[in-house]
């Protein structure tokens, strides 16, 4: 047996003890609290205690989901419906009703029942296999005598009545310990699979959540498109259009002065030429803002490299993509503008002197990580500085993760499921 397997077996035993203890304490307390709160709803008190109790159950379930993913690689989905969060007595009634109507609530309560019984026993089994080693050798080192004087005891199937039976118990405990080193990771994974079988939402619930998510992202996409159209109209009206109008007026004046005042006409012609150049530059910038030519011609990797070259902060870009492989144009565009916004935030707000970008593709998803050594404090979600990026990615089922403690560094990771061609 190598050291890695032994370490994994011991770690699984410790983790199983922690999960099993939680199952036999927290799960029991929360189940009793939730059931009692629901039972006293007709008395009126339960209307105010039930939401708090059920939300604590949800938090407990989410913690177990995280541990399943982190410790055993078992992903357990969730499909909780949104609940009202405005204050007031009437809203408490609505919150209570919304929680009780949510099928996920009853999945959680059913899981608590399983967790405090079979789930708890299965979680404690890895620790038990390891603990028998100590118990067996304690018996062999002399503790068997008072036990034998009291009529003996059973160590599994061995009746402890003599030194020989105590040594047999020690040998069996050692064998169970060695067995545990091999099977403990599998036993812990079996516990989490049992949790998943009971706690995971039904197919119908997942589809309903998917429909809600698609509806939300569709609205976000429509709003983003409308805002982008308004921006283009504003930029055209205030920039290139105004310059072209001024250039037309100058050309009209030049036409009137070309014979009577050639010198003035020449000055106006120079101004018209400068206005045309500025209008052309603004049009190019506008087109680049809609869809950069380098992105269309050379792909996302080169577009991000070109973006990094224009930043005032030294930026390192590393790329790990299949050669000549590209995602669909909408995906590349979404990733490009998301990275552009993240980099802009890093330059404006992070006070960083070094930025790095890592672009890769794995497991059917395009992944971009943007890091900086600035002061940190970046946030995502509603009202966060990166909420716009999160909405943009949501249209493609993409996700955004932000790690930005106060004082930095900041790491923003975005991931978009897609296929390369």
Flag whether 204 is in a domain: no
What's the confidence (pLDDT) of residue 291?
Answer: 58
Question: Is there a single domain that holds both residue 31 and residue 163?
Answer: yes
Rounded percentage of the chain residues whose pLDDT exceeds 70: 76
241-256: average pLDDT: 70
Question: Is there a single domain that holds both residue 140 and residue 221?
Answer: no
Flag whether 205 is in a domain: no
241-264: average pLDDT: 71
The domain in which residue 324 lies consists of 298-417
Question: Is there a single domain that holds both residue 234 and residue 168?
Answer: no
Flag whether 412 is in a domain: yes
What's the confidence (pLDDT) of residue 73?
Answer: 86
Flag whether 407 is in a domain: yes
Strongest mean pLDDT among 40-54, 69-83, 384-398: 40-54
What's the confidence (pLDDT) of residue 292?
Answer: 66
Q: How many domains does the chain have?
A: 3
Question: Is there a single domain that holds both residue 186 and residue 224?
Answer: no
Flag whether 125 is in a domain: yes
| Boundary of a domain, candidates 140, 171, 199 | 199
Question: Is there a single domain that holds both residue 90 and residue 61?
Answer: yes
More confident residue, 391 or 410: 410
| Residue 220 predicted with pLDDT over 70 | no
Question: Is there a single domain that holds both residue 142 and residue 267?
Answer: no
Question: Is there a single domain that holds both residue 163 and residue 227?
Answer: no
At residue 212 the predicted structure's pLDDT band, cuts being 50, 70 and 90, is low
| Boundary of a domain, candidates 224, 256, 290 | 290
* Range from 29-33, 74-78, 184-188 carrying the lowest mean pLDDT: 74-78
| Residue 78 predicted with pLDDT over 50 | yes
Instruction: Go through the chain and tell me how many residues it has.
Output: 421
Question: Is there a single domain that holds both residue 119 and residue 166?
Answer: yes
Flag whether 90 is in a domain: yes
| Residue 60 predicted with pLDDT over 90 | yes
Q: What is the CATH number of the domain that holds 317?
A: 3.30.565.10
Strongest mean pLDDT among 43-47, 56-60, 92-96, 365-369: 56-60
| Boundary of a domain, candidates 290, 307, 331 | 290
| Residue 286 predicted with pLDDT over 60 | no
Question: Is there a single domain that holds both residue 88 and residue 171?
Answer: yes
More confident residue, 412 or 288: 412
For all residues of the chain together, what is the average pLDDT? 79
Give residue-wise pLDDT tens across range 16-31.
999 999 998 999 999 9
Question: Is there a single domain that holds both residue 303 and residue 159?
Answer: no
What's the confidence (pLDDT) of residue 382?
Answer: 47
Question: Is there a single domain that holds both residue 397 and residue 334?
Answer: yes
Flag whether 208 is in a domain: no
Question: Is there a single domain that holds both residue 151 and residue 234?
Answer: no
């Amino acid at each position: 047996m190598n050291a890695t397997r032994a370490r994994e077996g011991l770690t699984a035993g410790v983790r199983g003890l922690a999960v099993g203890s939680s199952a036999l304490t927290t799960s029991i307390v929360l189940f009793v609290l939730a059931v009692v709160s629901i039972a006293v709803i007709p008395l009126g008190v339960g209307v105010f205690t039930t939401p708090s109790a059920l939300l604590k159950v949800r938090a407990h379930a989410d913690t177990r989901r995280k541990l399943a993913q982190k410790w055993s690689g078992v992903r357990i989905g969730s499909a909780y419906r949104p609940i009202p969060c405005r204050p007031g007595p009437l809203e408490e009634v609505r919150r209570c009703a919304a929680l009780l109507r949510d099928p996920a609530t009853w999945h959680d309560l059913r899981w608590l029942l399983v967790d405090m019984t079979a789930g708890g026993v299965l979680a404690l089994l890895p620790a038990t296999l390891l603990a028998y080693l100590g118990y067996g050798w304690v018996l062999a080192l002399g503790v068997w005598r008072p036990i034998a004087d009291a009529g003996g005891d059973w160590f599994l199937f061995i009746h402890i009545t003599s030194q020989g039976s105590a040594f047999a118990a020690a040998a069996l405990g050692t064998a169970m310990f060695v067995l545990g080193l091999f099977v403990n990771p599998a036993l812990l994974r079996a516990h989490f699979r049992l949790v998943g079988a009971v706690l995971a939402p039904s197919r119908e619930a997942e589809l309903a959540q998917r429909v809600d998510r698609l509806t939300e992202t569709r609205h976000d996409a429509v709003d983003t498109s409308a805002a982008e159209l308004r921006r283009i109209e504003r930029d055209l009206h205030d920039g290139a259009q105004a310059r072209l109008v001024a250039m037309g007026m100058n050309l009209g004046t030049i036409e009137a002065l070309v014979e009577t005042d050639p010198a003035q006409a020449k000055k106006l012609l120079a101004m018209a030429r400068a206005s045309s150049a500025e209008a052309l530059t603004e049009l190019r910038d506008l087109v680049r803002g809609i869809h950069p030519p380098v992105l269309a011609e050379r792909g996302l990797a080169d577009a991000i490299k070109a973006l990094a070259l224009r930043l005032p902060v030294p930026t390192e870009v590393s790329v790990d993509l299949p050669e000549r492989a590209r995602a669909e144009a909408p995906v590349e565009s979404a990733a490009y503008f998301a990275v552009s916004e993240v980099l802009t935030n890093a330059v404006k707000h992070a006070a960083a002197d070094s930025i790095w970008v890592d672009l890769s593709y794995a497991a059917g998803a395009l992944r971009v990580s943007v890091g900086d050594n600035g002061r940190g404090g970046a946030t995502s979600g509603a009202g966060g500085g990166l909420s716009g990026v999160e909405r943009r990615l949501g249209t493609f089922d993409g996700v955004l993760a932000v790690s930005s403690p106060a004082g930095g560094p900041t790491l923003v990771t975005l991931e978009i499921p897609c296929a390369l061609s």
